[in-house]
Structure 1
Amino acid sequence: MNIGAAAAASGVAAKMIRHYEAIGLLPRAPRRSNDYRDYGERDVHELRFIKRARRLGFSMHEIGALLMLWRDRARPSREVRHIAEAHVDDLERRIADMQAMAKTLRQLMHKCHGDDRPDCPILDDLATGEDGVSGAQA
């Protein structure tokens, strides 16, 4: 099937399929005599795999490692689990960071009158450069 058909079958945009090929996440599809890319069912399955992994928040690097493990039927599942555990740890850290940011913003909003006065604790806090959010990164 051509790239349009592969995109429709997998739910992945043709532009992203080209990108995945360019970064080596997906092998470059062979070309037909008319120079169109030729994709098979396995390619579509891998595209669905990538799409699902992206929806779960895995990085491209992690997806590449997971794809390699998926392609290797003799893989040890502990390697897959290790990638998933590291990803969950990262997600939990990011969630904690976002919760701390939301808490700080709620506190600042509580201090802001939100009326016609020009003074604003939110802008004052942003201007001071003080980071009251523990673990948050710029």
Structure 2
Amino acid sequence: MRKEKALIGLLRGLVDLLTEESARNPEFSSKLDALLSELPEKKAATKKAAKAAPPEHLPDIHSEWNAREEMDFRLWLRDQPVSVLRAVVRAEDFDATRRTDKWKEAEKLADFIADCLRARQSRGSAFIGRGA
């Protein structure tokens, strides 16, 4: 902190000296103006592009899981577009570490969704049928 204050004081003195000399010497003032005019303007902060909105109608994977056998469900998932599969992963919060963001194949995403859904269903079934 002390070094910062000393540096600020040094720079303030230098600016005062330059101001004083430029007031007395017009030639020095024009050279200083030419030198300082070359400083770049502050760049405007670039805004991040807004993420694409998820599709409005996401399929209900839970009802599809119950209506189909597992292999039929996996095949049905593979027929979905990659953007829909990514939106399902986000909506169901299957991938907290966001490792699936790099995946581009619908088959890989569909298998991931099916495996996560099976795991979630098996965890939930442990509580079904327990007495109070």
Give TM-score, length-normalised by structure 2: 0.29
